[in-house]
Each structure stands twice: as C-alpha cells, then as structure tokens.
Structure 1
Amino acid sequence: ALPGLWFNASEVHALLSMQHMLSNLDAGMLSGHIKPLQARLKALLGSADHSAEEVEKRLRIVQATKRTVSSKYFETIATATLSRRQIRLQHYSRQTGEESERTVSPQLLTYYRDNWYLDAWCHLRNDIRRFAIDAIRHVELTGDKAKDVSQAKLKESLESGYGIFSGSKVKWAKLRFTPERARWVAVEQWHPQQKGHIDPDGSYLLEIPYTDDRELLMDILKHGADVEVIAPDSLRGRARDEIGKMAVRYTLS
C-alpha cells in the first residue's frame, strides 16, 4: 500500500455500508457473489497503512430503525426486478392496518434509512407505487413481462418530494430554526433542491419540497420548540394539531 493512503469520509462510509449490507443479507440467490465481494471490500479497507481488522474494529455504522426483511421474499423481488418480470404480492398497509393484493412491475430496489423498499408500477392503481419490503406478506413471480417505466418518470415521481413518500404534486415547506439549532441544521441536507439562509438574528430559514407531509412532519417535530413551520398553512396546521395532541397526552391529571 502507498504510505499514508486513506479514504475520505464518503468513501469510508460507502465501503463500510456495502460491507454491512452484505453481511446482513441472508443466503439466497446472491450467496455465491457475496463472499467474493466481501473479500474485495475487506482488501480495499486494508489497502492503506492499517489492516482491515483494525479498520473494522475502530469504525462502525449504527442502525437505529432497521426492520427485518424475509430473505425468501427479497430474493423473489430482486429476481423479478433484474429479470424484468411482474410479481403478485400481498402488501400490509401500516397506515390502514389492512392487506391488499397487487400485481406490480418492479422498477427499483431502494435502500433508505436502513430499510428496503420496492419501487414498482402498480397495475391496480395504474401508477408508480413504493412498497416497504418488510410489509410484504407474500410474493410470487408471474409469467408476464414487466412494464418498463422511463428513468425520467421514475425520477419525477420518486425524487420530487421529501423522504420515502412519492408523488408529483409538489409543495414547498418553509421552516425557521432557532439560532441554537441552526448550528446543526444549517449544515444538513434535507433534500437536494433545498434552499436555506441564515437570518441576521442567527436563525436558519430552510425551504424544502415535499409531496406527502408524513415523514416531513416527523422530522420537523423531533426538533421540538427549536423549529417553527412558517408555510404553507396546511403544514403549519398539521404541526399545530399534532403538538396539541402531544400536549394533551403529557398533561398532568
């Protein structure tokens, strides 16, 4: 190895993330490929002045909200996605508590916040939908060829809004963070298209696009009294209502 050769923060995170993901994949259709990849990643991590064992011992990635995915279902979904075949699945909606059967054409497998999602064309809704793979209760391949959706349409539907929720009707949220919280938030990326600036009083004004307010609202509320929703009125109202419910729950009897 070259003396002093090392990786930057993004490269280290990428290598460790890949290694961590591979080590957590159960045996399945990828089992024959996982070990060579892990060996290659280990060699890359140890290609500097420090051994791979020392790197693994001194650096770690913490997963806080990972949900368990059935290796059997993941294998079937991955096979369908790569071989361009439709699948029939039984999906559990956590929002409604109900199950539904869908026939979908897989487009992408997405790994987001330590969990796997299937982005697919839903033949029931005749539109793009995103399914949490851990919420899929049954899946099987069909004999039909998958419908292909253009990359432009996928990008428009899946990347326009905030977080994991897809959609095409974009709104813009305007948030003001206190000077104290601005020290953290001002250097964070909430969305690739976000806009932000520091006001004269030290507070931070952040503007971000969203199509569904559920995940955005959760991320706003975790900042407590250090953030205020300025616009739109609909999002401000949702935050106010949720804070009101929280206040009732924490009111001393």
Structure 2
Amino acid sequence: MDRTERFYKIELLLRSRGCVSFDALQGELAVSPATLKRDLQYLRDRLAAPIVYDRFDNGYRFEAATDNAKTARHELPGMWFSEKEIHALLTMHQLMAGLDDDGVLSRHLQPMLDKLQGMLGADESEARELMRRVKVISTARRRVPSRHFELLGSALVQRKRVWLRYFKRSDRSVSEREVSPQRLVNYRNTWYLDAWCHASEGLRRFALDAVQEARLLETRARHVAVKELEADLDAGYGIYGGGAKVKWATLVFSAEAAQWVANEEWHAQQKARWLDDGRYELQVPYSDPTELAMDILRHGDSVVVAGDKALAAAIAERLKNAARLYA
C-alpha cells in the first residue's frame, strides 16, 4: 500500500469507526509506528485534516464539525469514496466483467480498482471472495472482438472518423462506410455504435459484432448534439428506436402478468395505469415494431394489443405461424 492509499485508508477508518486507536491504525495499515506518525502529521499539517487525539477514548478521530471552516467535513483532494461506495464500485467491476468477455473495460479500469482495494485494505484473496459474491447471468450475448471495441472507443474519445466494413443481417450484404462515432450503447448484453454515416448522411446504429473490419481515420468527426441523438435514435422502442414517425402501442396485461410487468421499464417515456379489474395497461412509443413484437410475444396469452390494428394483426399472424409449427 503506497502513501496515498494509506492517507485514504486513514480517512476511511476514522470516518467509518469514529475513533481508532494508534495500534488499530497501525495494524490496518501494516506500517511501522514511525511511518504512521509521519502520515498523521502530514495529514494534519499539509492536507489540513482535522485529526485530533482523544485522550478519553485513547484514539484518533476527526474533530467535531463546527461553523469554523477548518473543522468542516474534510475530504482529500482527488478521488474520494465512502466504504459503501467502494464496495459498490467493486461490484460494478464484476458486472462489467460479465458483459465484457474480452476484458477491455475491466483492463482499463484495473488501476483504479487496485487503488480502491488498497483503500479498503483488502488482500488479494478477500478481493477475489468479494467478486465471487456477485454473479451475472447473460443470455444470447453477441461477443465483440476487443480490437474493434478499443478502436471505436478511442475514436469516440478523440472525435475521429472511422472506416468500417459492415455486415447487414437484414439482407446479408456487406458495405464499406465512413462514420463519425457519437455514442457507445450496451443494450441487452450487446454493444452498438451510434454514429453519423457519411454515406447515407444520417444517424445510424451499428451492432459491433457485425463489424468485420475497422480503421481509424485522421479526419475530424462530425459532432451531433446528445439531444439530437436521443430524438432521432431513442424516441421509439428498443434498439430499433430510430425513425421519423413514432406511434404508440397500448398493451393490456392480465392481472397475473401485471405483478411483474408493473415493475418493468419498457421505455423511458412509457405511460401506465392499473385497471379496475386488476389488469395493467402499458403504453409505449415505437417506430419499428420488430423488437416490440418480440417482447409482446414473450408474454404469450397474458397480453393483448389494444387499439393498434396493424400491430395486433402482425402479432396474430406471428402466433398463427408459430402454432402451425407445432400442429
């Protein structure tokens, strides 16, 4: 544990325990008495930490906050987290590791996570045990080559254009495009790139697992405001949210299914209400019915599409086709 980590650890211990003896501090930090004395002196004199020795409790604590600015809540400069926040961040690391088989995100964040572990004073075995306490189960994950993820992430940060060779699944075609990356999106365990496509002169969403080849260009990327991105790509339902014309679907769930659906967010702009008979009505915007239809079909006979005749007919046709396969 280096000196900076010890400073954060001392602050964390005093803030979480209130009053800590010299022996307890020394044991947690695994340093000599002389080193601990120098650390406490440095915190007081150079970093203005209001650490005082309490003779009654035989330990060190922060001086009680008063109106005096010197004794107001003290925080070290730079990164600061509480113990609960550190545990939450380590848990998030496990979540990202589950979404990121190639380890790209985890690798870039590892230096910060090592610092957090040092602040907690946990050894390697304790850190591994913490990670095992969080399990992420993902299904239908589409993996992305790490070289593509890193290149596109770098282009996004540097505001550079990218050349792509892209496979379009709908018609099984391959095209070459020059794009200006705007946003990386992780949706249902799959990564997408929102970008301005210079060939079609519009915003498009690309599945990263369908990128066959990518090359960073030196040309400055076109900038698109976040509000424009959201209006163009997020207005409708799911990953097919783009489209100029947005319609609203009204879904009525049975009283049994409502117990789960009522706690789900299908869209940020959704509208919902309970009906008198215990059923649940959910209204969601959509422009392309592809993904919405899949989510409706997932609920089988527990949901009915109300009002939207075209969507209801499409769902009915899909159910008939599925039933014929099992006839």
**Shared fold per TM-score greater than 0.5:** yes
> TM-score, normalised to structure 2's length?
0.67
Q: Output the amino acid matched with 1:167.
A: G
> Do structure 1's residue 130 and structure 2's residue 189 form an aligned pair?
no
Q: Output the amino acid matched with 1:212.
A: D
| Whole-Å separation in 1 of the counterparts to 2:177 and 2:310 | 32
2:138 to 56, 59, 63: 63
Q: Tell me the equivalent position of 2:60.
A: none
SS of 1:244's partner is helix
Q: Aligned in 2, Cα 1:58/1:19: closer, same or farther, shift over 3 Å?
A: closer
Report the alpha carbon displacement of residue 201 of structure 1 after superposing the two structures with TM. 1.2
1:146 to 201, 204, 221: 221
| Whole-Å separation in 1 of the counterparts to 2:160 and 2:217 | 7
| Whole-Å separation in 2 of the counterparts to 1:64 and 1:41 | 30
Q: Aligned in 2, Cα 1:155/1:29: closer, same or farther, shift over 3 Å?
A: closer
> Do structure 1's residue 81 and structure 2's residue 156 form an aligned pair?
yes
> Do structure 1's residue 200 and structure 2's residue 287 form an aligned pair?
no
- Give the share of equivalent positions with the same residue, in percent: 38
Report the alpha carbon displacement of residue 143 of structure 1 after superposing the two structures with TM. 2.7
Q: Output the amino acid matched with 1:175.
A: L
| Whole-Å separation in 2 of the counterparts to 1:104 and 1:125 | 10
If each structure's helix is expressed as a fraction of its own residues, which one has the higher value?
Answer: 2
Q: Considering only CA atoms, is the larger Rg found in Structure 1 or Structure 2? A: 2
Segments of structure 1 that go 5 or more residues without pairing to the other structure are none
> Do structure 1's residue 215 and structure 2's residue 291 form an aligned pair?
yes
> TM-score, normalised to structure 1's length?
0.86
Question: Alignment length, in residue pairs?
Answer: 243
> Do structure 1's residue 233 and structure 2's residue 309 form an aligned pair?
yes
Report the alpha carbon displacement of residue 46 of structure 1 after superposing the two structures with TM. 8.5
| Whole-Å separation in 2 of the counterparts to 1:163 and 1:99 | 24
SS of 1:173's partner is strand
SS of 2:239's partner is coil
SS of 1:164's partner is helix
Report the alpha carbon displacement of residue 190 of structure 1 after superposing the two structures with TM. 0.9
Report the alpha carbon displacement of residue 134 of structure 1 after superposing the two structures with TM. 0.6
Q: Tell me the equivalent position of 1:103.
A: 178
Task: Judge conservation of contact 2:162–2:216 (CA < 8 Å) in 1.
Answer: yes
Task: Judge conservation of contact 2:196–2:203 (CA < 8 Å) in 1.
Answer: yes
Report the alpha carbon displacement of residue 93 of structure 1 after superposing the two structures with TM. 1.4
Q: CA RMSD in A?
A: 2.7
Q: Aligned in 2, Cα 1:231/1:52: closer, same or farther, shift over 3 Å?
A: farther
Question: RCO higher in 1 or 2 (8 Å CA, sep ≥ 6)?
Answer: 1
